[in-house]
Amino acid sequence: MTWLPALLGAVASASVGPLVGADTAAYWQQDVRYEVVARLDEATGVLSGRARIRYTNRSPDTLGDFYVHLYLNAFRPGSRWADRDSIEGQRRFNDLVDPDYAFERIRYSSINGVAVQPEFPYAPDSTIARFRLPTPLPPGGGLDVVIEWDARPSTVPRRQGREGRRFDFAQWYPRVVVYDRLGWQAHPLYPAGEFYGEFATYDVTLDLEEDQVIGATGVPVEGDPGWERRKADPRVTVDLQRDWYAERAQRNAGCRALAIDQGRKCVRFYAEDVHHFAMSLNPEYVYEEGRFNDVVVRVLYLPDDRAQWGNGVVVARTAEALRWLDELFGPFPWPQLTNVHRIEGGGTEFPMMVMNGGASLGLILHEVGHNYLMGILANNEWKEGFLDEGFSSFQTAWYFEERFPDFDGYPGLERFVLDQDLDGWSEPVSMVSEDYRDFATYGTMVYTKGQLFFHQLRYIVGDEVMRAILREYYTRWKLKHVTESSLLEVAETESGRDLRTFFGQWLHGAPVYDYAMGKVTRREAADGSWETSVEVRRLGDGMIPVEIGSAADGAPIIYARSSGRPEREVVRFRTTERPGRLMLDPELRTHDWNYLNNRERRFLTFLNDAWRFDIYVHEPSRRDRLVSSIAPTVWYNEAGGLTVGTRVRSNYLGRYERHEMWLARGLTGDDPTTERDDAWFDFRLRLSNPMWLRTPRSAQSLEAWVLEGRTGAEVAWEWERRTSFASPNVRRDRLTATWMVTRNMTFLDRAQWENGGTGEITHTAGWERSTQNAQWRMKIAYGGGIAYAARDLGARFERRYDVEPFGRATGSAAVRWSTAGGAWTLGARVFGGGYLGESVPLAQRAIPVDGADAYERFGNPLIRSRGAAFVRPEFFYHAPGNGNLRGYTPGLGGRWLTSINLEVERVLRRSNRGPLRTASVVIFGDGALADSLAVPSTGGAAVTPLLDAGAGLRLGLRIGDVDVPLRVEFPFVVSRPQYAHNRRQGTETIEFRWLMSLERSF
CATH code of residue 845? 2.40.160
For the stretch 194-252, pLDDT in tens is 999 999 999 999 999 999 999 999 999 999 999 999 999 999 999 999 999 988 878 88
**Number of separate domains in the chain:** 2
Grade residue 27 by pLDDT with cuts at 50, 70 and 90.
very high
Determine contact, residues 664/648, Cβ cutoff 8 Å. no
> Is residue 470 pLDDT above 70, yes or no?
yes
Spell out where 722-841 has E strands: 730-742, 756-770, 774-789, 802-818, 824-837
Residue 870 placed within a domain: yes
Number of Cβ atoms within 10 Å of the Cβ of 2: 8
Co-location of 593 and 726 in the same domain: no
Mean pLDDT in residue range 971-983: 95
Q: What is the pLDDT of residue 791?
A: 57
Mean pLDDT in residue range 75-104: 96
User: What pTM, to 2 d.p., does this model score?
Assistant: 0.92
Quick check: helix, strand or coil at residue 256? helix
Mean pLDDT in residue range 958-981: 96
Residue 227 placed within a domain: no
Average pLDDT, rounded, for the chain? 94
Q: What is the pLDDT of residue 19?
A: 39
Residue 273 placed within a domain: no
Spatial separation of the C-alpha atoms in residues 360 and 338, rounded to whole Å = 16
Determine contact, residues 477/377, Cβ cutoff 8 Å. yes
Range of the domain at 832: 715-997
Residue 677 placed within a domain: no
Co-location of 935 and 805 in the same domain: yes
**What is the domain-level CATH number for residue 565?**
2.60.40
> Is residue 679 pLDDT above 70, yes or no?
no
Spatial separation of the C-alpha atoms in residues 480 and 29, rounded to whole Å = 8
Residue 706 placed within a domain: no
Residue 85 placed within a domain: no
DSSP code of residue 66:
E
Quick check: helix, strand or coil at residue 329? coil
Residue 136 placed within a domain: no
User: CA-CA-CA-CA torsion for 453, 366, 401, 509, nearest 10 degrees?
Assistant: -10
> Is residue 4 pLDDT above 50, yes or no?
no
Determine contact, residues 421/445, Cβ cutoff 8 Å. no
Point out the domain boundary residue: 582, 601, 620: 601
Quick check: helix, strand or coil at residue 230? helix
For the stretch 329-364, pLDDT in tens is 999 999 999 999 999 999 999 999 999 999 999 999
For the stretch 482-514, pLDDT in tens is 999 999 999 999 999 999 999 999 999 999 999
Cα 815–Cα 816–Cα 819 angle in degrees, nearest 5: 140
Point out the domain boundary residue: 601, 628, 663: 601
Point out the domain boundary residue: 601, 636, 658: 601
Grade residue 937 by pLDDT with cuts at 50, 70 and 90.
very high
Co-location of 587 and 725 in the same domain: no
Mean pLDDT in residue range 115-138: 98
Co-location of 861 and 726 in the same domain: yes
Spatial separation of the C-alpha atoms in residues 561 and 844, rounded to whole Å = 60
For the stretch 796-836, pLDDT in tens is 444 345 799 999 999 999 999 999 989 999 999 999 999 99
Residue 723 placed within a domain: yes
Q: What is the pLDDT of residue 669?
A: 63
Q: Which amino acid is at 464?
A: E
> Is residue 8 pLDDT above 70, yes or no?
no
